[in-house]
Amino acid sequence: MGIVRQYQHYYRTYNRNIRLYLWHFFTWQLGALIYNLFFPLYLLSANINEQVMGSLFALNTLSMAVCAIPAGFLADRLGRRKSFILGSAPSLLVAALKLTTTNIAFLRLLYLVDGAFIMLFLASSSPFIVENTEPENRIHAFSLSAMMMLGAGIFGNFFGGYLPQVIRLVNASLGDITVYRIIFVCGTVLMFVAFTFLFKLIDVPTSVTPSANRKLVLPGKTDMKFLFKYMVAAGFIALGAAHFMPFATTFFRRTYGASPSQLGALFSVTQLTVFIATAIAPSLAERWSPIPAIIFTRIVSLPLLFGISTVHNFYFAGGLYMLRNAFMQMSSPLEANFFVSNISPEIRATANGINNMAMSSLRALASYSAGIIITRSGRFGGYTAAIQVMLVCYIFSTVFLYVFFARGKKLLP
């Protein structure tokens, strides 16, 4: 209860912008998670295999990579409110169009458009939180943002998993694709409601005034040195995670024959576990400082990944998957705060764009690679190989994180 009261206290200290942003994030994620839970199954129902899915995921993240730096620069010029609106509107349109088609060429175009514009939103998110908080309540704002996403996941995955059954109670003759499209309409409506919150935001004065006439300001030597080290360590995480995480739904569906309700329950409980872990993260950082806390969560997740790649029972694999997500996602707000706090204010969105470009490029490469590995290596062997690639990448990331930011320092309190 002490942690709950702590978050209640910090929530009351936040301005209207942060509160609106948090509720926008929750509602948008609720719709998006219901949508994304079933979209891989929608593609499978249309006889689209993992290799094609991998190419779609890769195009999306490649588009994000190409647009990351321009999006960061544009976000610094436009201001946060306009960037959020211009970044979200095309994504909302893409969600509405994706549910109308199974045409691969059209889907590829939609994934490209979505990746390009969503970067404008992502480039502004962390700077927006920093500019609307104080140092003493900032890390809790990052944690609350992550917790809102997780809370949406808990409800979205659990109740979303039962939506096919509910829809078929109304009309049992509907085919899978039609059922999924009805679900996508529900998700898109929630995303639209979230979109309306963005118009109530107000740009706050900062040391850097948005201007259409501003020249591009590149990171200086100190910022570039930090960026390079951070991106090497974080890059291996992006490379590894994209070999498996986009395919988690199809992994449990194809390998264990999990039903939509089982998938929804698994992902819901996973999000609940991650929610609790994320709530604990600031206390862990206060005790250990961010880098040791991040290293700890990474090390604990390694044997869990190995277990997922070797077990043959749905519930055992699901339990390991749940714990892996909890420990890895626990460190997300710590990493976000660590990154933004070490970047000069005038280039935060630009630096965020550079980082997003690098991470998106690696995720694009990994998603495409994983699709080929899974399709060519068979139902179980392919997923095992993809997860083991993820494990090796996580080991490299942990080593580089220690070498760059923790070597020679006291890790334990």
**Residue predicted with more confidence, 25 or 290:** 25
Domain residue spans of the chain: 12-202+219-405
Amino acid 105: pLDDT: 92
Burial 297-329 (b: 16+ CB within 10 A, else e): bbeebeebbebbbeeeeeeebbbbbbbbbbbbb
- DSSP letters for 216-228: P----HHHHHHHH
69 alpha-carbon distance from chain centroid: 19
Mean pLDDT of the chain: 84
* Local confidence band at 408 (pLDDT 50, 70, 90 cut-offs): low
Amino acid 183: pLDDT: 94
Amino acid 332: pLDDT: 76
**Residue predicted with more confidence, 331 or 246:** 246
Tokens of 348: 């935060």
Through-space distance between the first and last CA atoms of the chain, rounded to whole angstroms: 24
* Local confidence band at 2 (pLDDT 50, 70, 90 cut-offs): low
The DSSP H or E segment spanning 392 is helix 379-405
Amino acid 349: pLDDT: 67
The predicted-structure confidence for 355-403, as pLDDT tens digits, reads as follows 878 888 888 888 888 888 888 776 667 888 888 899 999 999 999 988 8
**Residue predicted with more confidence, 180 or 274:** 180
Asked whether the predicted pLDDT for residue 213 surpasses 60, the reply is no
| Averaged pLDDT, 175-185 | 92
* Local confidence band at 126 (pLDDT 50, 70, 90 cut-offs): confident
Please state the pTM of the whole predicted model: 0.72
Q: Give the C-alpha separation, 321 to 251, whole Å.
A: 11
- Which distant-in-sequence residues (6+ apart) come within 8 Å of 73 by Cβ? 216, 349, 350, 353
Amino acid 409: pLDDT: 60
φ, ψ of residue 272 in degrees (nearest 5): -65, -45
Highest mean pLDDT among 11-25, 185-199, 286-300: 185-199
Amino acid 196: pLDDT: 95
Amino acid 410: pLDDT: 56
Cβ–Cβ under 8 Å, residues 63 and 116: yes
The predicted-structure confidence for 239-282, as pLDDT tens digits, reads as follows 999 888 888 888 898 888 888 889 888 988 888 888 787 777 66
Domain range 12-202+219-405, CATH class:
mainly alpha
SS3 readout for 307-370: HHCCCCCHHHHHHHHHHHHHHHHHCHHHHHHHHHHCCCHHHHHHHHHHHHHHHHHHHHHHHHHH
* Local confidence band at 218 (pLDDT 50, 70, 90 cut-offs): low
If we measure between CA atoms, which residue out of 268, 270, 390, 287 comes closest to residue 329? 270
| Averaged pLDDT, 344-356 | 75
Amino acid 200: pLDDT: 92
Asked whether the predicted pLDDT for residue 211 surpasses 50, the reply is no
Share of the chain above pLDDT 90, in %: 23
- Which distant-in-sequence residues (6+ apart) come within 8 Å of 297 by Cβ? 327, 328, 330, 331
Amino acid 325: pLDDT: 87
| Averaged pLDDT, 55-78 | 82
Report DSSP state, residue 206: -
Amino acid 212: pLDDT: 47
